[in-house]
Structure 1
Amino acid sequence: MTEEINLPQAKLIYITNFIETEFANLVFEKLYTETDWIQEPIKIFGKEMMQPRLTNLFGKKPYSYSNIIMKPNPLPEVLQQLQVKIEEVTDSKFNICLANLYRDGQDSMGWHSDDEKELGKNPIIASVSLGGERMFHLQHKTKKELKQKFVLAHGSLLIMAGETQHYWKHQLPKTKKQVSPRINLTFRQILD
């Protein structure tokens, strides 16, 4: 099911069953067991701490955020297949895939926008969710009363495009609920 999430100054499309369950399970298992997941230190409000999740970068270009410079690993075959499918749906090209592993409910991603300069003016971020379902939050940067939250399902695709990153921030908060491990794949285009 494809749903356009109607928010001002944003272009968001959510496709619930983007990947068939069998292929989604395969991609999750391969990445979960065969990826060299890393946990890097990050500075938050001047204090250094370990990121509350594990990461890896696949693709052709390095990527940097929050004073972390990630070097890419080759895109595994299952991600190449997934990328082709995403590029068809989004009518866009991607050259990196940032993978995040959320081991349990205590792993999270704080409020942020994907607005790094190397992503260009209005980047398209194609975000695939695999594994345990988690709640995703959005909030307008200046009109704080504008908020949205919804569950990201196994095998789903969330496309954030247009001015979304200029006006909105998003997060994947911690949860006390028992949740299965989750892998999030964000396909992006790094500009030269």
Structure 2
Amino acid sequence: MTVGLQGSLFGQTGDLALGSLRGLRRVPLSEGAWIDLLPDWLSGADALFERLAEAVPWHAERRRMYDRVVDVPRLLCFYGEDDELPEPVLAGAREALSAHYADELREPFRTAGLCFYRDGRDSVAWHGDTIGRGSREDTMVAILSVGAPRTLLLRPRGGGRTVRQSLGPGDLVVMGGSCQRTWEHAIPKTGKPVGPRISIQFRPRGVR
């Protein structure tokens, strides 16, 4: 797949390596929801972006929205718990996250969902990961971002103050507590010229 990432702009062209998770910063939200943030957890993020863009079997989906079927505005690929991840560093990231959050989550991260945002027209609408246990239980979703920066929005279900968080190459955000049940998140479309981005979402078993 041909992509237009200008990696040199982001200073993430070195060797692939994961940093320490000790620098995670927790931001409380409300109703027991929180997010943990760690910029630049992965070094060499541009190299990972290029490898994933070429090697992952990306596919487009169509979904029913009210009375019509529409194109999902991003490319997708899902790796179940028995699937080999496309790059060893992703397996290492999943293991590191499972170890770090073992006392809170009490189970490992098992799956990886990948989304390819090709440009500013690709997006994901407001939602919570409530397919499966996320609709009734506190859980965690960890997102590693590579490629061009995009903005993650979060807001309480039912309305309230929107939290904006820029996610750059190699950045990690973990949504935990009641976040999937009591808050929503989105990657909005933008008319600004932005490059492509890939997000890798690690989840426990039974959470989508």
Q: TM-score range by the shorter chain?
A: 0.7 to 0.9
| Match for residue 157 of structure 2 among 132, 136, 141 | 141
Runs (5+) with no aligned partner, structure 2: 1-22
The total of aligned residue pairs comes to 178
Residues 103-141 of structure 1 show CA distances to partners (whole Å, capped at 9, x for unaligned) of 000000001001112446112100111110001111111
Q: Which moved more, 1:170-179 or 1:116-125?
A: 116-125
Tell me the secondary structure at the aligned position of residue 107 of structure 1: coil
Output aligned runs, 1:6-155, within 5 Å.
6-9=28-31, 10-20=33-43, 22=44, 24-60=45-81, 73-76=83-86, 77-91=88-102, 92-119=107-134, 121-142=137-158, 144-155=159-170
| Match for residue 180 of structure 1 among 183, 195, 199 | 195
Tell me the secondary structure at the aligned position of residue 127 of structure 1: strand
Tell me the secondary structure at the aligned position of residue 98 of structure 1: strand
More strand by share: 1
Note the C-alpha offset of 1:25.
2.4
Runs of 4+ in 1 over 6 A off after TM superposition: none
Within 1, Cα distance between the matches of 2:90 and 2:195? 21
Percent identity, aligned pairs only, is 28
Relative to the length of structure 2, the TM-score reads 0.79
Residues 69-124 of structure 1 show CA distances to partners (whole Å, capped at 9, x for unaligned) of xxxx5312232122122223333511110000000000000010011124461121
Relative to the length of structure 1, the TM-score reads 0.85
Q: Which moved more, 1:149-158 or 1:76-85?
A: 76-85
Within 1, Cα distance between the matches of 2:171 and 2:156? 23
Task: Give the equivalent residue in structure 1 for 2:26.
Answer: 4
